[in-house]
Structure 1
Amino acid sequence: MRYFYILIVAGLLAACGSGKESTDGSDQEMDHRTEVRLRQYMVQGKRLYLTHCANCHQKNGEGLAQLYPPLAKSDYLMSDLKRAACIIKNGVEGEITVSGRVFSQPMPGLETLTPIEVAEILTYVSNSWGNEAGISSTRDVSIWLKKCND
């Protein structure tokens, strides 16, 4: 009977696979976690965008005439996400050129937003309307926001 239990335990250990397969599963799990987090950021980011940003930049991200620049397929947004995080939080004044058009309407900052809220908005706008940037992590955005005035 004792040998029977040893055989069962050995069989179970063999069925569990090697450590390498377990590591590969962790990589897949990490990818899954990132996908879930991206979806969460997109949902929350959309909610925050509609509350704080859509009035000027419009629900479809196309901006408003010559007053407010588009975020959809925006070269200005996508060329520097660090700068975009600072603009969301602190606003911007002066001329900017977006997709070949000049805009000079000042944008007020959303100073009360937390780093995670800035990350969620940034993730939403940088992955909507033809933009593709992946997730802007809260950790990265926190670092970027500390360096805004540098």
Structure 2
Amino acid sequence: MQNFKRPIFLILTILVSSCGSSPNKQTADEEPMDRRTEIRLTQYMVQGKSLYQTYCSNCHQADGTGLAKLYPPLAGSDYLMADLKEAACLIKNGKTGEIMVNGVSYNQMMPANTNLTPIEIAEIITYISNSWGNKAGISATRDVTRWLKNCEDSEN
């Protein structure tokens, strides 16, 4: 059933995105996006939001504000936006130990999500890095695949 949903979703995304004529959106580095990238960004944002709600929002909250001093915010997070490559590794492999986010110390374990595929991680990263005031553009699946390989290599 899951394999059936992706093609339908892609067709719907293309149809919705092609309605009307809007100027090219800008990425975080202010370069105009081509139409294909704009459609992919829209798809990644929708899928990423759904995956975020399933895997991340329990701790980081639906609005990305985190949970008190237990779980760090993703909204406006200096830690997240400083290194999206590390974010891919954290999502896949989890993390233990202290981190500093926006000047506040957090020391809760983040569980690993080893069942997530590179495209799902790319969708989550794209969603969280372009929501709640964050602006980073699309995190491509090929990049996330390389990032995940690099974090595996650094563990060995």
The TM-score bracket by the shorter chain reads: 0.7 to 0.9
Work out the CA distance in 1 between the residues paired with 2:47 and 2:68. 27
One-letter amino acid of the counterpart of residue 134, structure 2: N
Structure 2 residue runs of 5 or longer lacking an equivalent are: 1-32
Work out the CA distance in 1 between the residues paired with 2:116 and 2:150. 16
Structure possessing the higher radius of gyration over alpha carbons: 1
More helix by share: 1
Work out the CA distance in 2 between the residues paired with 1:136 and 1:78. 12
Q: Is the counterpart of residue 42 in structure 1 residue 50 in structure 2?
A: no
Matching of residues 47-126 of structure 1 within 5 Å? 47-126=50-129
Runs of 4+ in 1 over 2 A off after TM superposition: none
**TM-score (normalizing by structure 1):** 0.80
**TM-score (normalizing by structure 2):** 0.77
Q: Offset at 1:115?
A: 0.1
Q: Identity of counterpart residues, as a percentage?
A: 69
1:14 corresponds to: none
In angstroms, what is the RMSD of aligned CA positions? 0.8
Aligned length: 121
Q: Offset at 1:54?
A: 0.3
Q: Deviations over 1:59-118 (max 9, x none)?
A: 000000010000000000000000000000000100000000000000001100000000
Structure 1 residue runs of 5 or longer lacking an equivalent are: 1-29
One-letter amino acid of the counterpart of residue 128, structure 2: V
One-letter amino acid of the counterpart of residue 113, structure 1: L
